[in-house]
Chains A and B, each alone.
Chain A
Amino acid sequence: EIVLTQSPATLSLSPGERATLSCRASQSVSSYLAWYQQKPGQAPRLLIYDASNRATGIPARFSGSGSGTDFTLTISSLEPEDFAVYYCQQSRNTFGQGTKLEIK
């Protein structure tokens, strides 16, 4: 069973700063890695698919990179609406435990 470990658990930053979120897989997931954003009371929203492709309508400040076992979601300059919980997932498989991005 593949385990996805996200770090950090909580990230405290200010608007305008750069956010770097990590997702590490216990074995290779190739490029079948997606990132989702979830705000309280809402369903998750797809941000990045296949490790580095932005989903439709996702702003360019969101980018994904990595392959194999190490992946990164970068938000280049945080907007107030970006503070949320972020999950990685191997497609058709497990989710990471999430990273909460909070306002500093």
Chain B
Amino acid sequence: QVQLVQSGSELKKPGASVKVSCKASGYTFTSYAMNWVRQAPGQGLEWMGWINTNTGNPTYAQGFTGRFVFSLDTSVSTAYLQISSLKAEDTAVYYCARERKGIAAAGRSALNYWGQGTLVTVSS
């Protein structure tokens, strides 16, 4: 069965960096794109972007360029989200989510498998 297991909660100081991992199992990792979604406390969902797990090419949504980096380690079927120069407003739950359609199918796809979320808290 498909599973996405994310790393545990993080408490960071402003200006620090954090790297969130999302380990996939139950399917061929490089066949489905991975998206990242942010949810600040009590707020809605924000789409951060996606990464092509076959080519490693990332696409970032507006507002998530510069300090946010998506990366992969295909040898361990894991996607990563790194955030640098953390600010208090980065405090949120970060989700990885796998697309429903395979990369080979091309085109846009909904997200049918989600990680459990990683809470990143930025506080001095």
Contacts and interface: CB of A to CB of B under 8 A. Distances in A.
Interface residues of B, number: 24
B112 A44 contact: no
A38 B114 CA distance: 12
Nearest to A6: B44
A43 B112 contact: no
Contacts of A104: none
Interface centre among B35, B50, B97, B111 (most CB of A within 10 A): B111
From A38, A91, A96, name the one whose CB has the most chain B CB atoms within 10 angstroms: A91
B108 A46 contact: no
A92 B108 contact: yes
B112 A55 contact: yes
Among B50, B99, B108, B110, chain A packs the most CB atoms within 10 A around the CB of B110
A95 interface: yes
Contacts of A50: 110
Interface of B: 35, 37, 44-47, 50, 59, 61-62, 95, 97, 99-100, 107-112, 114-117
